[in-house]
Amino acid sequence: MVLGIFSSYWHFVKIIFAMYIYQYPYPIILSVSGLDSPRYLNARLSNDIRALRTDNFLLAAALTPQGKAQAFFEVIKFKDEFILFSEGGNLDFVSSAIKQYIVADRVTVSSLNDSYSAFHLACDNLSILESSLGLSLDPRLHSYSVHKDMLILSIPKIKTFGFDFLIPKDALATISKLQEARTLSLEEYSFLRMKLGNLSYPEEINETLLFSEAEIDNSISYKKGCYIGQETLERLDSRGKLPGKILTIKFEGLQQILPGLEVYSGAEQNLKVGTILSASQSIEENETLCYARIKTTATVMDCVMVSGLIGKLFARSSLR
C-alpha cells in the first residue's frame, strides 16, 4: 500500500516537473591535441584555457582580429586532448577557424562528429533527471564529469537544471532510458532557451556583432595576455560602454519575424534602433520571442516596432 502511494506520488512529481530532451541536429565536436595545443588554444580563444581542471569546462569564442565570433565553444580538458563542443555551425568553417593560425605549432585538430552525438537534457527537478538516468549529476554551473566515456556538462539552457551530454554513438542506450522525457523540436528548444535568456552559435553569436555585445558571463579573460581579438575587446572594456546589446523583444501571438528585419523606436517610428537576429514562436504560450541587436543609446525604451508590429523590449536574464 505504502509503495503504491509512493509510486503514484513519484509519477505525479514527474508530470509536474517535466523532463526535456533535445538532440542537437548539427553539433560540432572537435578534438585539439598535440604538445603545443594548450599554448595555441590559449592564444586562439577568448578565455583562459589554463583555468581548466578535471571537473570544469569553460565557455570561449574563436575571434577575428576585429573581435567578432567565428565560433563559440564549451571547452573541456579530456585525457590528453581538448574537446571543443559547439551547438551548431558549419563544420568546415569552424574547423578552419580553429586551425587558422597554426604555423609550426605541434597541434592536431580533428572532428569527433562521426563518433559522438550531442544532447541537452533539462528539468526543474534534479532528482527526476538522476532517477531516470540512473546517474548522479553535478549541478554546479560549468561542472564537468565523465561516465563511461560519456561527457556530461552542467549548463542550464532551458530549465533550472540542464546538462549537455556528448555520448559515444555506440552508447546511446543511456538516452533510451528517458522514455518519459519530452523530445523537443528545434523551434521548441529555441523558444525555451530564448525565454531563459540564452544565446546560441551561430544564430545570435556570430560575425555580425562584436563578441562583447553578447555579454556572456565568464567567456572572456581580461588577465591572461594576448589572444586573437584581444585588443578590440580590451578597448571596449576600458571604455565601459558597448555600442550595442542583445535584447529580447516579445510579441503577442504567432508573428512571422525574420532575421535581418529592422527594429524601430515605438515612440519615433522613423528612428531605427536595431536589427533582428533570430525569432521563435510558441503555440502553447501564443507568443513570439526575438533577439535583436539594439543600439546602447536606445536600450531604455519599453516598446519597439518591427514590420508594423509593436513588441515589448526587455533585457535577457541568462543562467549560463
Please state the three-class secondary structure of 80-105 as a single string.
CEEEEEECCCCHHHHHHHHHCCCCCC
pLDDT tens-place string over residues 283-318: 999 999 999 999 988 766 789 999 999 999 988 874
| Overall CATH class of domain 15-242 | alpha beta
pLDDT score for 267: 79
The hierarchical CATH code for the domain 243-320 is 2.40.30.110
pLDDT tens-place string over residues 91-114: 999 999 999 999 999 999 999 999
CB atoms within 10 A of CB 58: 22
Which residue type is seen at 154?
Answer: S
Residue limits of CATH 2.40.30.110 in the chain: 243-320
Burial per residue of 111-140, b for 16 or more beta-carbon CB atoms within 10 angstroms, e otherwise: ebeeebbbbbbbbbbbebbeebbebebeee
pLDDT score for 299: 66
pLDDT tens-place string over residues 40-84: 999 999 999 999 998 999 999 999 999 999 999 999 999 999 999
Cell numbers describing residue 195: 525565454
Cβ proximity of 213 and 295 under 8 Å: no
Quick check: helix, strand or coil at residue 159? coil
Handedness of CA 40, 167, 129, 18 (dihedral sign): positive
Cβ proximity of 61 and 49 under 8 Å: no
Grade residue 320 by pLDDT with cuts at 50, 70 and 90. very low
pLDDT score for 177: 65
pLDDT tens-place string over residues 202-233: 999 999 999 999 999 999 999 998 999 999 99
pLDDT tens-place string over residues 123-155: 999 999 998 888 899 999 999 999 888 999 999
Grade residue 39 by pLDDT with cuts at 50, 70 and 90. very high
Grade residue 21 by pLDDT with cuts at 50, 70 and 90. very high
Residue limits of CATH 3.30.1360.120 in the chain: 15-242
> Which helix (DSSP H) or strand (DSSP E) does residue 20 occupy?
strand 20-23
